[in-house]
Every structure is written in structure tokens, then in C-alpha cells.
Amino acid sequence: MFDEKRATRRGLAFGAAGLFALSACGTGDAAAEERVTVPEDAEVEQLRVEVLDTFDHDPGSFTQGLEVAEHPEFGTVFYESAGLYGESDARIVDPGTGEVLASQDLPADLFAEGLTLTDTDLWQITWQEGAALRRDPVTLDVVETVAYEGEGWGICSLDQFTAPKVAEAGTQLIMSDGSSTLTFRDPVTFAPNGTVEVTLDGEPVSQINELECVGGQVWANLWLTDQIVRIDPATGEVGAVVDAAGLLSAEDSPGADVLNGIAAGPDEGTFYVTGKHWPKLFLVRFVP
């Protein structure tokens, strides 16, 4: 599926005919072009996905961010950010059925990207509009809108983090912008606190998209690919690359876009993963 982000980033190099050809090729060719390769002598784990369970997911959701948390009314829920201009929202989803329990639309001129939870807030970022929405996690109401520079892709919250590249110790929001740079931000003010460059065997890794902070590490979808990487936020070094290809069956694949959406699962080492316009969501483990 040919999304607006892909059109903007890749379409500048093509005329109308080129854009049509790119959209017709689907996500498979683009994903093959963007995949990272682990050198044979690199000390990087190469992992695959073991599926533990499968759930229904709203195929209408252009998934940008995914979190699991407890809600005072609904119990255990997914918080999900869905993108596209005129279709973006923040939603609360029943994990077992995929039913949308509550949602709040964004204005039509905002393209929603990732979201993350802190102890008190739900932060949702936007793609090119430089607007971070601080929401009430119970009602999803927007409490405050904070401006930032650059693009917003993914975001996660890392507890009690200390590193030389960060100005302040403590809980940090970590945000991606599609480049090889991750930006640390204050969880209350959203002010930037520092950056780190993501590398694999010394080479920069870009297209970093949706993020999940767990166990002191950052797990990240690489946009346009079926890969997920594990990043040490203190150094930016990639310590593992996950090949998540083949999750969707042939029956479920038509109309589905790229892998995107990762959240820590109920047990240590488990994760929920899905994708843009995917009809399924999976509980998985990453294994050698």
C-alpha cells in the first residue's frame, strides 16, 4: 500500500509515472531495499519471531504507535495511534477482540505518529506538524499541545535512564524522526535533553520508526522493512536485529502495509506486534 509518508519522501525523485510504478510495486520491493544487513563478524544477535498468540486488529488503522496499560474503566487495553491526514486518532482498544473502546480524532491537518505513556500522561506526536499532544490517558482528551522542531515518527518512555549523552538523569522520552538520531526529551515539558546516533557495526541505521522502551533497551521498527532492532540508548549501538517477515498469512496480506507497532507483552521477553492496516495483531517472542 502506497502511503503519504512514502509518497513525500520517495516521490520527489519521480514524476507521475514513477510514482505510479512505485505504488504498484507494493511494500515488498521497498522493504527489500531498506533492510539492514548484519556483517558476519559483527557481535549482533540475529533473531526471528516465534508467534505465541494471534488477535484481531482493525484493518482500518494506519498503526503508528502501540502501548499496553491498565485503564480504570476497561482494564488491560491497547493504546494505539492511527495516522493519515483526515483519519488520525488516538484510541483505546480491547486486546482480545480488537474493538475500539474509545477514540479521539485529530484535526484533519495533523498526521498522527507514535505515542507513549508516562505515569501521568499519554504523549502523541505528529509527523511534520511539530505538535506533541499531551493527553489524559483515561479520557484521551488533549490537555496541552507542545511544539517541537523536525519530524516525529516514534516515541517511548524509558525509566530512570542515565547516560553521558543526556543532560538530565531520570525518566526520559525517546523520540525518532526517521533518521539515525534518537532524541531524549523531558517527560513533563517535552524539552530536548540530548541525542544519540544509532549505529550497527559502526554504520548509521536510519528509517527508525515506532519505538518501545523495555528492560533499559529501545526496540524499534525500521520503516519499509519487516525488521525490528534492539538499541542500547546509552551508546546507540544495535545489539540485535529481528527478522519479522511472514507474520501475515496470504489470506490476510492483501491491503496490508508495512510492519509497525510494537509493545511489551505480559511476560518478560514477549511483545505485541502489528502493522499498518493489518487485520491481525500478534503476541510474539524473539528467538535465535
What is 238-265 written as a DSSP string? EEEEEE-TT-S-TTT-TT---EEEEEE-
CA 18 to chain centre: 28
| Segment 164-208, tens digit of pLDDT | 667 666 789 999 999 999 999 999 999 999 999 999 999 999 999
Residue 218 · residue 211 · CB < 8 Å: yes
Measured CA to CA, the distance from residue 54 to residue 190 in angstroms comes to: 35
pLDDT digits (tens, 9 = 90+) for 4-35: 554 443 333 333 333 223 222 334 444 445 78
Q: Please write the tens of the pLDDT for every residue from 63-99.
A: 999 999 999 999 999 999 999 999 999 999 999 999 9
Report the C-alpha gap between 173 and 195 in whole angstroms. 11
Specify the CATH class of 4-287 in words. Answer: mainly beta
Cα–Cα distance, 262 to 67 (Å, whole number)? 7
Cα–Cα distance between 98 and 78 in angstroms, integer? 9
- CA–CA dist 248, 73 (Å, integer): 32
Q: Between the CA of residue 60 and those of 33, 55, 88, 151, 283, what are the distances in Å?
A: 26, 15, 11, 24, 20
